[in-house]
Amino acid sequence: MKLLYLMTEPFGVGGVQSDMLALGPDLTARGHDVFLATKEGELLPELEEKGVTFISADFHFSGLQGLWRAARKLRAIVVANQIEVLAPQSVRTTLVALVALRILPFSYRVKLTGKRIPIITTIHNIHNPMHFRYGGWLLRAACDHVIFESHYERDRLLASGLQAEKSVVIHSGIDTERFLPKEPELALLEEYGLDKSKHLIFGIVARLSEEKGHCFLLPAFAAVLETTPNARLMVVGDGPLREDIHKQALELGLGENIIFTGVKRNIPDFLSIFDVFVLSSTRESFPLAAREAMAAGRAVVAPRIGGCPEVVDDGVTGILFEAGNVESLATAMQNITSDKCHIAMGHAARERVERLFSRKQWIEGDESVYEASLL
């Protein structure tokens, strides 16, 4: 089949982009022609190297005129490439698909089959309150089927108008071969002046932006240091709040106890030196970073929001805390390392990923939905 994915954001670092880097090449390897339309970004060469055809398009429109232009652009892409299945990755791109294929100016059909192109939307997360209010009804009107990464997001959209029979939950999967439990990367330990025999290392891999909650993590870590002075916190990532977060670290007097690495691509190597992975977000749907950490055999501290309870089995593979609550986060970080229980939790985390979040079942699940839509 000829499958076209639609994204709103540039193809840079991000959760949806990571999904595309997995789904696109894997479906291509299974004999499908995979296309992706969005704006260019720093990870584009990696995508194209793996056989996915990239098409430059901007679907981040505003207003009716912007929507009309985006829909005309999409219609032209579909016709030129004889696309058979359209896979928007957001509510916004679904709206563009609705206008392009069902409204402008009449329902488009594939020449070779004479059939209408199915619209199969994947919902990763919905943060925009406006999108949540009308999202269920839009998906009901526009889509042949909707794939959700988590039961949390599906339940929200069912409550706002989507029919249950038009939707399914398929957890996005982890490359369990890439994210393996392994011995600590000695070169990284040396680079950052760390010693596993002396230091207890907490780590976060996240964009330095408001919703990731670094402003709560830093004071929580400061509280941990009061009882565990040998603790270290590695902050992997970059973003718009970099200066604010660095300033907060200085004000809290964290000094050499906190390490800012900037953006890194060798995440498995960093996970190998973490003792505990911390997710301090105030908004989450179905966190990829937490599942990658679990695949690498790391216990996870995560907020009790969104789909996080679907990822982290509280008390078994990690500990959940009250989002935005410094004291609750600090207590979770202290409890997870008491009596070294994070080690057993890490083993359980790996087993949970293999059982529930494998890449194989994810690819096969999505492929089956796409292929069924063509029957």
Tell me the per-residue pLDDT of 157-176, one tens digit each, with 9 for 90 and over: 898 889 999 999 999 899 89
Per-residue pLDDT, averaged over 350-368, amounts to: 94
Are residues 49 and 115 located together in one domain of the fold?
yes
Are residues 368 and 279 located together in one domain of the fold?
no
Are residues 10 and 147 located together in one domain of the fold?
yes
In DSSP terms, 151 is beta-bridged to none
The pTM score is 0.81
Give pLDDT, residue 328: 98
Q: What distance in Å separates the CA atoms of residue 275 and residue 341, rounded to the nearest whole number?
A: 11
Q: How confident is the model at residue 131 (pLDDT cuts 50, 70, 90)?
A: low
Are residues 142 and 197 located together in one domain of the fold?
no
Dihedral sign (CA 238, 240, 243, 247)? negative
Q: Which amino acid is it at 270? A: F
Could you report the per-residue pLDDT of 306-324, keeping only the tens digit for each?
999 999 999 999 999 999 9
Per-residue pLDDT, averaged over 91-96, amounts to: 94
Are residues 261 and 226 located together in one domain of the fold?
yes
Q: Is residue 181 assigned to a domain?
A: no
Are residues 367 and 325 located together in one domain of the fold?
no
Q: What is the CATH number of the domain that holds 214?
A: 3.40.50.2000
Are residues 206 and 127 located together in one domain of the fold?
no
**What is the DSSP-derived secondary structure letter of residue 106?**
S
Q: Which domain, by its residues, includes 246?
A: 186-356
SS3 at position 37: strand
Per-residue pLDDT, averaged over 113-128, amounts to: 87
Q: Is residue 180 assigned to a domain?
A: no
Give pLDDT, residue 14: 79
Residue 347 has pLDDT above 80, yes or no: yes
Give pLDDT, residue 159: 87
How far is C-alpha 33 from the geometric centre of its chain's CA atoms? Answer: 24
Are residues 168 and 225 located together in one domain of the fold?
no
Residue 132 has pLDDT above 80, yes or no: no
Q: Is residue 179 assigned to a domain?
A: no
Q: What distance in Å separates the CA atoms of residue 210 and residue 214, rounded to the nearest whole number?
A: 8
Are residues 213 and 291 located together in one domain of the fold?
yes
Residue 134 has pLDDT above 90, yes or no: no
| Percent of the residues in the chain that have a pLDDT greater than 90, as a whole number | 82
Q: How confident is the model at residue 87 (pLDDT cuts 50, 70, 90)?
A: very high
Calculate Rg over the CA atoms of the chain: 22
- Element counts in the chain: helices (H) and strands (E): 15, 13
Per-residue pLDDT, averaged over 269-274, amounts to: 98
Q: Is residue 67 assigned to a domain?
A: yes
Q: What distance in Å separates the CA atoms of residue 197 and residue 181, rounded to the nearest whole number?
A: 18
In DSSP terms, 303 is beta-bridged to 321
Per-residue pLDDT, averaged over 133-153, amounts to: 91
Q: Is residue 24 assigned to a domain?
A: yes
**Averaged confidence pLDDT in the chain:** 94
Are residues 193 and 142 located together in one domain of the fold?
no
Q: Is residue 19 assigned to a domain?
A: yes
Are residues 120 and 156 located together in one domain of the fold?
yes
The candidate with the shortest Cα–Cα distance to 93, out of 113, 133, 129, 66, is: 66
Could you report the per-residue pLDDT of 246-256, keeping only the tens digit for each?
999 999 999 99
Contacts with 204 (C-beta within 8 Å, 6 or more apart), sequence order: 212, 214, 217, 233, 234, 235, 236, 237, 277, 278, 279, 280
Q: What distance in Å separates the CA atoms of residue 346 and residue 31, rounded to the nearest whole number?
A: 36
And the tokens for 38?
A: 């969005």
> What stretch of H or E contains 112?
none
Residue pair 353/294 in contact by the 8 Å Cβ criterion: yes
Give pLDDT, residue 285: 85
Are residues 215 and 343 located together in one domain of the fold?
yes
